[in-house]
Amino acid sequence: MTKEQTTADGFSYTLERVLEAPVPAVWSAWTTAEAYAQWSYAAPGSVEMDVRPGGTWKSTVVTPDGGQFPLTGSYAEVEVNRRLVTGMDVPGKDEQTLMTVELAEESAAGTHITVTQTCDTAEQRDMAEQGTTMLLDSLTAFLKTVN
């Protein structure tokens, strides 16, 4: 059962889904380097996470055509099993781009996930939304293999 809702407002987007996994499993998939690497299109060995406010993360994303993009950032907010605000470093920009992931129990075995991000332009928003949709699709498939 995957319910999905997308809302775009200005240069922001919000994606919502119900995942067939308990909140702690979804949290672990998003905040454990070994698990995250399995579903996030990351190059092997490239994911590092220090999941605490002010902690840093890095990952190298591999695109479908084989290109590699190193990403870095930090954690602005961490509320275990509830809310994760991740900042991503953007070349040429002083401030990080923030992505908020919120988790809520939908049922004993289900999690409502909401991902929100604000970008500088409509084009950046559309690209980020497409990337996040791919991530959520991959996360959904990954959770089916570990539950």
Give the burial class of 103: count Cβ atoms within 10 A of its Cβ; 0-12 exposed, 13-18 middle, 19 or more buried: buried
pLDDT confidence tier of residue 146, bands split at 50, 70 and 90 = confident
Tens of pLDDT, residues 83-136: 999 999 988 888 899 999 999 999 878 999 999 999 888 898 899 999 999 999
Instruction: Tell me the sheet residues that pair with 116.
Output: 14, 100
pTM of the complete model beyond 0.75: yes
Q: DSSP alpha helices (H): ranges in the chain?
A: 23-31, 33-39, 122-146
What domains are defined for the chain?
Answer: 4-140 (3.30.530.20)
pLDDT at 64 over 90: no
Tens of pLDDT, residues 8-62: 456 899 999 999 999 999 999 999 999 999 999 999 999 999 999 999 999 999 9
